[in-house]
Amino acid sequence: MNGVKVENLLINYKTLEKFKRFKEYGNQELSMYEDLQNKFIENNSKSPFYGVYIGENLIARMSLYEVDKKYDYYFEPQQDYVAIWKLEVLPDYQGRGYGKTMVDFAKSFTLPIKTSPRINSHGFWEKMGFDKAHYEMERDLGENPLIWLPAGVKEKETHPAE
């Protein structure tokens, strides 16, 4: 998509107002409005929020977190990775490639990516090259995570009980 750019969203009142539109017209369960309020520091330039604008309208957004390898349960050897959280495109703009643009931006970090997709979004993530994570954890977090691996990165393998 020519001319479409993913921007790091400033944490300020203007962004807070843009997020209200998502809460009212987007998917309620994906609202990042409360997340933004919890991290509110006027014009914090290093926010975890990214978005796509058309003119002055924020039409797609996501939270993108870099995770330290000490918290890695998905890749072998343990390594830093990116977690996509709450990717959302406003209904009037869905099916036009904006979600793909957001995912491609996350892939540009050239780190493994983990996401926990919402119900009925597995098809989208599969098109983006994500697969089910295979890992062992002491407890199931109920996430059903999907992962994407850049070239040369290995996923942890599960080992059946002997």
For residue 38, what are the CA distances in angstroms to 33, 86, 87?
9, 15, 18
Provide the pLDDT for residue 159.
46
For domain 6-148, the CATH superfamily is Gcn5-related N-acetyltransferase (GNAT) (3.40.630.30)
Handedness of CA 38, 44, 48, 49 (dihedral sign): positive
Provide the pLDDT for residue 46.
67
Of the pLDDT bands very low, low, confident and very high (cuts 50, 70, 90), residue 37 is low
Provide the pLDDT for residue 19.
72
Provide the pLDDT for residue 72.
87
The pLDDT of residue 124 is above 80: yes
Contact partners, residue 23, CB within 8 Å, separation at least 6: 31, 33
pLDDT one-digit tens code per residue, 132-161: 887 655 444 556 789 999 987 766 664 444
pLDDT one-digit tens code per residue, 5-28: 898 887 766 777 777 766 544 444
Residue 38 burial by Cβ neighbours in a 10 Å radius (0-12, 13-18, 19+): exposed
Domain residue extents for the chain: 6-148
Provide the pLDDT for residue 140.
45
pLDDT one-digit tens code per residue, 77-116: 889 999 998 898 988 999 999 999 999 999 999 999 999 8
Which residue carries 């987007």 as its tokens?
26
